[in-house]
Amino acid sequence: MSVSVELNHLIIPSRNNRESAEFLANLLGLEVGDEWGPFIPVETRNGVRLDFASVPEADLRLQHYCFLVPEDDFDAVFARLLETGVTYSADPQMKQIGEINHNHGGRGVYFLDPGGNGMEIITQPYEPERRRPTAW
pLDDT in tens, 78-129: 999 999 999 999 999 999 999 999 998 899 999 999 999 999 999 998 776 6
Domains of the chain, by residue range, sit at 9-55+62-130
Taking the domain 9-55+62-130, which CATH number applies? 3.10.180.10
Q: Is-contact 67 118, C-beta < 8 A? A: no
Summarised one tens digit per residue, pLDDT across range 24-74 is: 999 999 999 999 999 999 999 999 999 999 999 899 898 999 999 999 999
Please give the model's pTM, rounded to 2 decimal places.
0.89
Summarised one tens digit per residue, pLDDT across range 3-26 is: 999 999 999 999 999 999 999 999
Rounded to 5 degrees, what are φ and ψ at 106?
-125, -155
Q: What is the per-residue pLDDT for 19? A: 97
108-112 vs 88-89, strand pairing mode = antiparallel
Query: Which has more pLDDT, 128 or 1?
Result: 1
- Pick the closest to residue 122 from 63, 62, 77 (CA basis): 77
Q: Whole-angstrom Cα distance, residue 71 to residue 130?
A: 14
